[in-house]
Amino acid sequence: MNKKVIDALNEGRSRELSAILQYMAQHYELENDDFGKLAKILKHTAIVEMKHAEKFGERILFLGGVPTSKPDKEAKKGQDIAGMIDTDIVLEEQAIEMYNAASALCAAEKDMVSKQIFDQLAKEETEHLDEFQNIKDHVAKLGAAYLATLTGQAGD
């Protein structure tokens, strides 16, 4: 059992649990405020984060550790859309930074399977970051006109 790698995996799992709670809280608030299309994006992102948390948990168990069930942050609630997206951008930037550092740690510890997990999840978090940055840019440039496109039911 490699404690350093398990600790890094648990740190990632804790971060993913926070992201799940954050994105689901935003999903519920946006759905309630009739921003169904944006709510759907956040719900989908939360589901991807759930899969990340599961992947970390499975690897931790395989290595003989105990997966954490504690998020590293409380979900922020009651933000406007611009504030929500800023929060999400910070969450993704922090995850990417942490996962890149953890990948290097896993390489140094000669655990290439855990390294590969961190590399894959960093790639997926980069995709989330790009999506949130695009939304932020649209809100900044188009304001209420863009926000109006996000209202109503989200199509499946």
Angle, nearest 10°, between helix axes 112-142 and 81-108? 160
In this structure, what is the dihedral angle of CA atoms 118, 97, 51, 127, given to the nearest 10 degrees?
A: -110
pTM of the model: 0.93
Summarize pLDDT for 31-54 with one digit per residue, the tens: 999 999 999 999 999 999 999 999
Summarize pLDDT for 85-95 with one digit per residue, the tens: 999 999 999 99
Q: What angle do CA 93, 94, 100 make, to 5 degrees?
A: 90
Q: Is the dihedral of CA 78, 82, 83, 89 positive or negative?
A: positive
Q: The domain 3-72+81-149 is classified under which CATH number: 3.20.20.70, 3.50.50.60, 3.40.50.300, 1.20.1260.10?
A: 1.20.1260.10
**Do residues 109 and 4 lie in contact, with contact meaning Cβ atoms separated by under 8 Å?**
yes
